[in-house]
Amino acid sequence: MSKKVVRYNNDLNSVTFGSFREKELDLFFSICFKLKELGTDEVEITFEELKELSDYSNRNVKRFIKDLESTYDKMLGLNIKMKHSELSFEKFNLFTTYSVHGDTKKIRIKMSEKFDYLLNKILGNYTKFDLIDFVRLKSVYSKNLFKLLKQWDSVREYKVSVVDFKELLGVSDKYTTANFNTRVLGPIMEELPHHFKGLSLEKIKTGRKVTHLKFTWEIEKQEVIEKEKIEIQITESLNSIFEKVRKNRFLQEWLTEKNIYKLIQMYDEKPLKKGLMYLYKEVKKEMPSFSYLIKIIESGIEEQEFDIKVMKDKTVVDKKVEEISKEVRESEEVENPLLLAYSKMPKTIQDMLLDQAKDLYMKDVNIKKMNATHEKFFKAAQKSYILKVLGS
């Protein structure tokens, strides 16, 4: 099973998640995983996907919605703080949108710009771990310590005062030393050695009282798996478009081989070419995320195309028709005896003569088929052409 890596700025580890239950922690970090690299765009997640990410097994929809609500309520209570100096700081909410739709079984989330720096704009030290390992832990204390130890995985040592440890893990003040050892440290030392090789705990005393806890572990040898190289095959015309788009300085960093592979998998060649050219012309500032780039490409694909076709000028024919009709109108001052005879003929003979008159008209105006305009002019000249047919 492929890893699902959660990554965030170490500042988030200073926040106390003690009030969160096990499943609420799983839901929160599953959402963080889903929002990774998507910037502040609004994201839609299905219940099914979020359940799979968080290893949520309860099938009751109402129970799941209730857990989503309680998770958000506890998010609102998190003490997220950016400290600017000793005398100034800033607090903020994690999300600007968090809407749950039980009818469609979807959740819509949009993170705040302030929270974006914790998940995406990571410039300094960060913590990363496999979401799958995290959600499979049973103890809420194991989960909270798991992410703290991951922060110190490079040095493989974490020393913390008992007071801070209890606050960060949300340990009840009512716990006796026996309760603390059994309910908190017991599950931790049972579960976490499976994820931190040789994990050991040292209780450091000041006088007769344990004041600090020190966790140490060994470096774990990583199994090197040689991955099969993916060969990307594209046409010369598509490659030339990618090369052109790369010349836009705001797009260079996003058009990596990995992202090009993603785009080729997402779109057929023709719409992709159209979207890329639209992207090249429209982007004139820094791109916040790859998902934003995709949105611009899709806008380009959906843009309406206009095709201007130049038609032949038909004014010469129309003028000729008008001239013939005018001549006919001017010459018909009195009713012709032949027309009187025509009016008294049987309908079948009238229709036959009318067809012959139309053929003669089309020959005169040099057309092979009559349109609405020609029918209009023929009607005006109809008597004249019937007379020509009768006189021939």
Say what the pLDDT of residue 84 is: 58
Are 283 and 255 contacting, i.e. CB atoms less than 8 angstroms apart?
no
d(CA 241, CA 255): 12
Q: How far apart are the first and last CA of the chain?
A: 93
pLDDT, averaged across the chain: 82
Q: Binning pLDDT at 50, 70 and 90, where does residue 74 land?
A: confident
Closest Cα to residue 9, out of 115, 98, 94, 143?
Answer: 115
Q: How confident is the model at residue 333 (pLDDT cuts 50, 70, 90)?
A: very low
Q: Is 200 helix (H, G, I), strand (E, B) or coil?
A: strand
Q: 288 versus 163: which is more confidently predicted?
A: 163
C-alpha 375/C-alpha 365 separation (Å) is 12
CA 286 to CA 291: how far, in whole Å?
A: 13
**Six-digit token string for 165:** 């440890």
Coil, strand or helix at 342: helix
212 and 162 Cβ atoms separated by less than 8 Å? yes
* pLDDT > 60? residue 327: no
Contact between residue 126 and residue 9 where contact means Cβ atoms under 8 Å apart:
yes
Whether the pLDDT of residue 215 is over 60: the answer is yes
| Rg of the chain taking only CA atoms, in angstroms | 40
Mean pLDDT of 30-48: 81
Between the CA of residue 371 and those of 24, 144, 327, what are the distances in Å? 73, 81, 21
Q: Identify the sign of the CA torsion 207, 209, 213, 216.
A: positive
Give the three-state DSSP class for 340: helix
Q: How many CB atoms lie within 10 A of CB 39?
A: 20
HEC states along 62-101?
HHHHHHHHHHHHHHHCCCCEEECCCCCEEECCCEEEEEEE
Structure tokens at 201: 């705990």
CA distance 35 to 56: 19
pLDDT over threshold 90, residue 166: yes
pLDDT band, residue 380 (cuts 50/70/90): confident
Pick from 88, 95, 108, 129: nearest CA to 42? 108
pTM exceeding 0.75: no
Q: Are 333 and 362 in contact (CB under 8 A)?
A: no
